[in-house]
Structure 1
Amino acid sequence: MSYFLSKAGLDFFIAFGVVIGGSMLAGLGSVFMLLPPAVTMLDTAARLKIWAIVAAIGGSIDPVRVIESNIAQGQLSPAAQQICFIIIAFLGAHLATELVRLICRGPA
């Protein structure tokens, strides 16, 4: 269980960091290019969300292969873990996207 929680936590924060970091750097770059930073940050956060999930779960198709091979062998536990890692990475990326949206739009 300890491995699961530590991997899940890392996946969450990696996905979160990819979206936040990418959006912040895009906003900084947009200032140098004389573009509106808030619009650039919002657009970048939305486009980076899927790539943040891919980066968090390993950056390749291997997790999908693990799911497929374990289900084919009748073992659901490793497949369920991989699906949980993907969901947790999505939550990290989504939370970061919502945080960027909140920051860029300001108080309501």
Structure 2
Amino acid sequence: MLIKIIRVFCIPYFTSLGVVIGGTIIGSLSSIFIFESPVKIINSILKDIRLWGILVGLGGSFTTIRGLEIGLSGEFTQLAKQGLILLGAFLGSFTGFKIISFLIGEIK
């Protein structure tokens, strides 16, 4: 049971974490071609990619909304599962944001 709960949480968490970190790092390579400061480019990308990290972590918002609807009609386990998916996606995106912000010196 605990393994299943961890799996439901970890998949969206690490997916959104990877989107934020990977997208920011790969996107900052564009600073080579446009002769701009990499930190400036990273800040620009990081602000925009957080939402995309959450959306990719959810894996399809209609499925999540449908699961919430089923959960509100009486199935508590489905509601808890969708809550874990949402929490994992939000926390993964937030963690990625904090890691990149720390690496570029925004957070000390």
TM-score, normalising length: structure 2: 0.87
Contact 2:8 2:81 in 1 (8 A): no
Determine the structure 1 residue equivalent to 2:76.
76
Structure 1 residues 50-100: Cα deviation after superposition (integer angstroms, max 9, x where no partner): 21111112133211111012212x112211211121112111110110111
- More off after superposition, 88-97 vs 34-43: 34-43
TM-score, normalising length: structure 1: 0.87
Determine the structure 1 residue equivalent to 2:59.
58
Tell me, in whole angstroms, the C-alpha distance in 1 between the residues paired with 2:8 and 2:51.
19
Q: CA deviation at 1:31?
A: 2.2
Q: Quick one: which amino acid aligns to residue 90 of structure 2? A: F
Tell me, in whole angstroms, the C-alpha distance in 1 between the residues paired with 2:105 and 2:40.
10
Tell me, in whole angstroms, the C-alpha distance in 2 between the residues paired with 1:75 and 1:26.
42
Structure 1 gaps of 5+ residues are none
Between the two proteins, the alignment pairs up a number of residues equal to: 107
5 Å-filtered alignment, 1:1-108, equals: 1=1, 2-72=3-73, 74-105=74-105, 108=108
Structure 2 gaps of 5+ residues are none
| RMSD (CA atoms) | 1.7
